[in-house]
């Protein structure tokens, strides 16, 4: 006790005052009911506010992880959606499509569980061009991530392109805004209306849909989706909507020429998914049996 007193006296009145006030304060909030209650409320409020601020800061710093995790969830859901659509398998000897739940139902033809067909791989576009007639993107996934040539690249809003070349860590994607790009799409409101989507240059938000027969009555703003008649894009992925009234195709008057406004703004492509068709090798091998002239 004596050394403490000496210390207090040596360090002047202020330290003594501070310590004695702290002691008084402790006595007050421990022995006086009203003071104890007010103190508990105040510290509760302040503590709650501090915790909330801390949580906000933690949330902010973990946004990247949250976004990454959400991108994975989106991929997983897209894969399930695409695979669920794919479960519409034709039943032998009929023209009807039968829906199959990819998780619980079985294919009545094969009598076994239907396997999923697509796998989505999250990626980010790190380079993109839209100004030329042959546009390309580079994504931050490559051979090491399971990316192979001829895989489709999509975003949740629309279609982006097709992987053409891969390095270990990156891939070169031929944009849909490329003169050689040709995507099989469908008009889901029409029955069996399939055609090819091409880009004729110019407006980067507009493509041309050809080979839809004249007898279809296509309305403006009708949705356009992928047809599923390719080994790359799954069925039903959004592409855009019909822009303006369709005209007769000047190159082939039996078909319509339809302008399509893309739902994905190609100038702002950032988060994309690369689609891996798990049966592609098998289907390629099957297709190779057909001779070149017959294809």
**Which residues lie near another protein (CB under 8 A)?**
8-9, 12-14, 16-17, 20-21, 23-32, 34-35, 38-39
Coil, helix or strand at residue 71: helix
Question: Which residue's CB is nearer to another protein, number 2 or number 131?
Answer: 2
Structure tokens at 214: 């004249």
Least distance (Å) between residue 20 CB and another protein:
4
What DSSP element (H or E) covers 70? helix 63-86
- Strands 106-107 and 271-277 come out as unpaired
**What is the dihedral angle through the alpha carbons of 116, 163, 237, 200, rounded to the nearest 10 degrees?**
-150
The whole-angstrom separation of Cα 246 and Cα 221 is 11
Question: Which residue's CB is nearer to another protein, number 9 or number 91?
Answer: 9
Question: Which residue's CB is nearer to another protein, number 34 or number 111?
Answer: 34
Quote the DSSP letter at residue 179.
T
Structure tokens at 196: 């090819």
Question: What radius of gyration, in Å, describes the C-alpha atoms of the chain?
Answer: 32
Structure tokens at 16: 């003594």
Question: Which residue's CB is nearer to another protein, number 36 or number 180?
Answer: 36
Least distance (Å) between residue 42 CB and another protein:
8
Least distance (Å) between residue 51 CB and another protein:
22
Least distance (Å) between residue 66 CB and another protein:
40
Question: Which residue's CB is nearer to another protein, number 37 or number 200?
Answer: 37
Least distance (Å) between residue 11 CB and another protein:
8
Q: How many CB atoms lie within 10 A of CB 213?
A: 13
Question: Which residue's CB is nearer to another protein, number 9 or number 267?
Answer: 9
Least distance (Å) between residue 44 CB and another protein:
14
Q: What are residue 61's DSSP bridge partners?
A: none
Handedness of CA 250, 254, 257, 262 (dihedral sign): negative
Least distance (Å) between residue 33 CB and another protein:
10
Question: Which residue's CB is nearer to another protein, number 7 or number 283?
Answer: 7
E strands in 70-200: 89-90, 97-98, 106-107, 112-113, 118-128, 134-139, 152-154, 159-166, 171-178, 182-186, 194-198
């Amino acid at each position: 006790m004596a050394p403490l007193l000496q210390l207090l006296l040596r360090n002047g009145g202020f330290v003594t005052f501070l310590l004695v006030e702290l002691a008084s304060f402790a006595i007050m909030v421990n022995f006086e009911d009203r003071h104890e209650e007010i103190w508990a409320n105040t510290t509760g409020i302040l503590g709650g506010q501090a915790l909330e601020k801390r949580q906000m800061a933690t949330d902010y710093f973990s946004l990247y992880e949250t976004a990454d995790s959400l991108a994975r969830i989106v991929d997983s859901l897209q894969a399930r959606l695409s695979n669920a659509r794919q479960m519409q398998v034709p039943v032998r000897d009929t023209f009807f499509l039968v829906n199959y739940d990819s998780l619980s139902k079985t294919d009545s033809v094969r009598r076994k569980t239907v396997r999923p067909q697509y796998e989505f791989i999250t990626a980010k576009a790190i380079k993109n061009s839209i100004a030329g007639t042959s546009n390309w993107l580079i994504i931050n996934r490559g051979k090491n991530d399971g990316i192979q040539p001829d895989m489709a690249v999509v975003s949740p809003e629309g279609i982006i392109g097709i992987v053409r070349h891969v390095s270990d860590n990156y891939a070169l994607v031929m944009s849909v805004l490329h003169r050689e790009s040709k995507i099989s799409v469908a008009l889901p409101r029409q029955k069996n209306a399939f055609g090819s989507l091409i880009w004729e240059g110019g407006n980067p938000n507009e493509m041309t849909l050809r080979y839809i027969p004249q007898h279809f009555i296509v309305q403006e703003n009708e949705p356009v989706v992928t047809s599923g008649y390719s080994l790359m894009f799954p069925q039903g992925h959004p592409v855009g909507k019909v822009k303006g009234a369709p005209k007769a195709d000047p190159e082939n008057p039996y078909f319509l020429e339809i302008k399509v406004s893309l739902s994905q703004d190609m100038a702002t492509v950032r988060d994309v998914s690369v689609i891996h068709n798990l049966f592609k090798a098998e289907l390629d091998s099957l297709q190779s049996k057909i001779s070149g002239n017959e294809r």
